[in-house]
Amino acid sequence: MTRIRKFAAAFLVALTVIAGAWFIYSGRCIKWAIDHHSPNLLKAFLVIGAPVNAGFGAYGRALTHAVSTGGIDEIGILVKHGANLNEHPFSDLLLLAWAYDVAHGPEVGEELLKLGADVDALAIPSKRKTTLMHLLSHSELSASKIRSILHFAPNLDLLDSNGKSARDYIRDRRAAMETAGFTVGELDDLVGPKISIQQNEK
């Protein structure tokens, strides 16, 4: 009976060790720490070898999941441990663009930019759109998000697949940008004063 108990105890210990190893090295611990907004645990898991680029199926990789949950602290920790800031977590959408899309405000996108994300990287490679162009293409414009991108000095002269620059997008959406809260002065600084039809005819 004693042998059976010893064997059972050893078996349970072995199962616990195996389960713990799977939890850590499969990256499930990373998702757990992100879901529970536990930056200290996340650091600990990464230090003992949890994969920083672990994938979680529909949730994407660890950094994408942190972006989706708005975990500013977790984003910084993952990047410090080597997560790729300029990845395309979905087939044709840059992580930076996803950050601006999924969050209510600009804070998550700004955090990626502060950590070194490329403001001019192609947000939608198939259309050669930058994140600024992507935001300017939305039916409802967010002044706070667009201002946030502009704060990091994007190149307004890069061209998309149709030969349009960000300046062209701003000119095309000028009325919508004013409605969203941009001042005439802000827009003039970006693309010059609005030219009326009468001025154009002269």
pLDDT of residue 118: 96
What CA–CA distance (Å, rounded) separates 25 from 17?
Answer: 12
CA 163 → CA 26, 128, 142, 160, distances in Å? Answer: 44, 9, 24, 5
What CA–CA distance (Å, rounded) separates 95 from 127?
Answer: 16
pLDDT of residue 77: 96
pLDDT of residue 14: 40
pTM given for the model: 0.82
pLDDT tens for 69-101 read 999 999 999 999 999 999 888 888 999 999 999
pLDDT tens for 17-35 read 343 444 454 578 888 899 9
pLDDT tens for 116-137 read 999 999 999 999 999 999 999 9
pLDDT of residue 29: 86
Map out the domains of the chain as residue ranges: 7-84, 86-189
**Which one of 1.25.40.20, 3.90.1200.10, 1.10.1040.10, 3.20.20.80 gives the CATH number of domain 86-189?**
1.25.40.20
Q: Are the C-beta atoms of 151 and 186 separated by less than 8 Å?
A: no
Residue 94: which residues within 8 A CB-CB, separation 6 or more? 86, 87, 88, 121, 122, 123, 124, 131
Give yes or no for residue 49 having a pLDDT over 90. no
pLDDT of residue 3: 63
* Percent with pLDDT over 90 in the chain: 66
SS3 for 58?
helix
pLDDT class for 5, splitting at 50, 70, 90? low
CATH architecture of 7-84: Alpha Horseshoe (1.25)
Phi-psi region of 153 (alpha: psi -120 to 50; beta: other; left: phi over 0): left
Q: Are the C-beta atoms of 177 and 170 separated by less than 8 Å?
A: yes
pLDDT class for 54, splitting at 50, 70, 90? confident
